[in-house]
A and B are shown apart, each in its own frame.
Chain A
């Protein structure tokens, strides 16, 4: 028992709101030994972050409470500890890294101030000693030219660098336990791979324990010694990582493991009619400077891309954030202005005004990334789906429109009787289905799918992928599928464009690109996405 660092016993967390009590965590127990990495896996809403936050009592008390349980850290119950004792533990013995490196650093303080504050609080280090330690930490987390970075503000760093700074802050006091709450979810795949390797090596160096919270099973397999699978506030299965992956006992674990997107993309067929064609498509945003706001340069978000999309086929556009893939999609659907020829079913549409585009809008549709943001919270589902019909098929009677809405809902696998409800009554996956129904009800020929699965849980992702493939087959749809998630792209796209900084890195049939990538950048991307390995760093940084 002496090597047990943290022991969570029978912990429950309840939230009270307006007389209602909801139990977010329901009698969970797990142990973390010294030097061990334990992963808490589950889908959104399973209570994994709440469990982690309650270890340091970071929940919004008194709205949250613990009806039962104890959290023993080195034999001491943190739930019963006073505020002063907790402050000593926080940031010193136990530290946390959060998901969003953008918001977890104070934007008004330099890197040196932020790390220095922790050193001063817990170790009373000041002046040159603090600076030396800060530099040492920054070097440890792999920030190059650390001296130059000391005076940098968070916005001057990239997402990966910010997360490295967060890790440096977490390590500053040589904690015994590091809690990492989805530390790589907001990062690009290549950066994610680097951060994971960094965390792993740091943990080994310092002999820390780590509690790793994630929804991504790939990461768990890579980093964790033991796994706790959580669903609906309960831990349903606990065991060594290899064992759980090889021989899952609980039905939910099996379901989770089986939920990688599967299936084959449509076969390439050059005889099908061309739906969308782009020639040298460019989207340049001007950079203005000086008193007269003259254009001095351009941000080349999309810089000369050619593509052809045929009916019943899927063109996948992959790339890291900032590579211009969404901008390309918006340009092709003429939602932003661009240069270069864009043809839709043989019609040159690049010079069309918004009004001239309107009659074509029903034939080209868009599904957006965030199912929470893309549905107006103040409209019922029937109104949301019927809105397009009101514009494009004005002659439709109310009853006929209602029938079309119901049919569309049924097609995406939702009960038509739900159409009087409001979006907030639906889960993320159901909302994305509603968004798809909104596009499908107009019977489009071309659908731009902008990261339609990124905001969804893994198992829901697989269902949405299946749904999209079925719809494509049934209606002979042309998809432009934009995603940073290569697994999903592999399951859907028969052609792939790899984009980087607005330019095409590699373009071709999906099979060839996935099995035998030519460019170094593509290789690095594949390794990071499928094996979580950081290779070819020079190709990524360039």
Chain B
């Protein structure tokens, strides 16, 4: 038997298994979903760099021969002859001081999500700058239209909200926090839900019966009221909100995974693994989980958009993120109370609908990719 030499490594055909490659082909064949996927990744990638796109601090500055990175480092104002603990780079005094002794590179939008524009032409909310004449939009600056401060980066592209904060900046940050919240919630609830469903489906019997009854009771709780009650007791915040929603959202995965495990636990290759002496944990992970992953992954984009919607509606009701944090729901609420400023509602609406549509299109393509019977034309 020693004639059997050890063969070299398996022929490498990329990092995907043949099944994975076929799925990727199916995914690509859904053009809409495929482009949505890349567009969503691009938007999400951009929003992750929000600090470099919309910020009230310059990205790089040179002051008296020293290169500073105000985006990354907080410099006390003392350094530039002021007195605040944190430098307000937007103030005329600091700006003149730095420009006299060096230079600054600003992000395209010179507002962060909580920066208040003190140079609005009239009381907030103010309209996008392109809805106003040049004189009007610069009227609050000391030198009017000739003022160096009245330039593109300082104008409000999508107007301001009722606290004179830039809507564009708030939208970018709000998009980021929505997607991040959705992602973390989806992944965490998938982890819990898949494990619970796996245990139920694999062991069946009493385990299944008891957990199933528990889930029935658990999922019949009025989630919204519980959220309201808890929000009244605990200080609202990203992680507290995440935790509360996680308590209830994992249940959604249990059904599909449990069904998949129940079906597959008597497959012959599972029996064969059992006959080989493979342990329960390994069987579940290696032989059964891939079956359940198809259902789970198909589910994922829809759960993701669901979580985003939930967060937005909580923000809208005022039970979401703490006041001041950028959030699309809060923007919609502002739009509702400021009907004379349609740019608030419209911006939030467009951001939400683009984000959710992209996710749904990606979800459709994912469903196609994992459909074993899928044929094209």
Contact = CB atoms under 8 A, between A and B. Distances in A.
B267 A361 contact: no
B17 A378 contact: yes
B1 A365 contact: no
A17 to B, nearest CB: 5
Given A378-B17, A380-B10, A403-B6, A368 B272 contact: yes
A410 B3 CA distance: 11
A163 interface: no
A387 B343 CA distance: 61
B277 A361 contact: yes
A392 B278 CA distance: 9
A297 B274 CA distance: 29
Contacts of B269: 373-376
Contacts of A253: none
B257 to A, nearest CB: 16
A391 B287 CA distance: 15
A406 B4 contact: yes
Interface stretch (A227-235, A414-422, A520-528): A414-422
B277 A358 contact: yes
Interface in B265-285: 267-269, 271-279
B289 to A, nearest CB: 10
Nearest to B269: A376
Contacts of A333: 275
Number of chain A interface residues as a range = 35 or more
Given A387-B276, A442-B276, A420 B6 contact: no
A387 B17 contact: no
B295 to A, nearest CB: 14
A382 interface: yes
B376 interface: yes
Interface in A333-347: 333, 335
B272 A435 contact: yes
A22 to B, nearest CB: 13
A364 B277 CA distance: 10
A114 interface: no
Contacts of A257: none
Given A382-B10, A410-B4, A416-B7, A357 B272 contact: no
Contacts of A420: 10-11
A369 B268 CA distance: 8
A407 interface: yes
Interface in A380-409: 380, 382, 387-388, 391-392, 399, 402-403, 406-407
B271 A335 contact: yes
Given A361-B276, A378-B290, A406-B4, A18 B376 contact: yes
B79 interface: no
Interface in B1-15: 1, 4, 6-7, 10-11
B91 interface: no
B1 A18 contact: no
A63 interface: yes
B377 interface: yes
B19 A402 contact: no
Interface of B: 1, 4, 6-7, 10-11, 17-19, 267-269, 271-279, 286-287, 290, 375-377
Given A359-B277, A375-B272, 10 more contacts: A17-B375, A18-B375, A358-B279, A365-B275, A366-B272, A368-B268, A374-B269, A375-B269, A406-B4, A419-B7
14 contacts: A19-B377, A335-B275, A359-B277, A361-B275, A368-B272, A373-B267, A376-B269, A376-B273, A380-B17, A388-B277, A391-B277, A402-B6, A416-B4, A419-B7
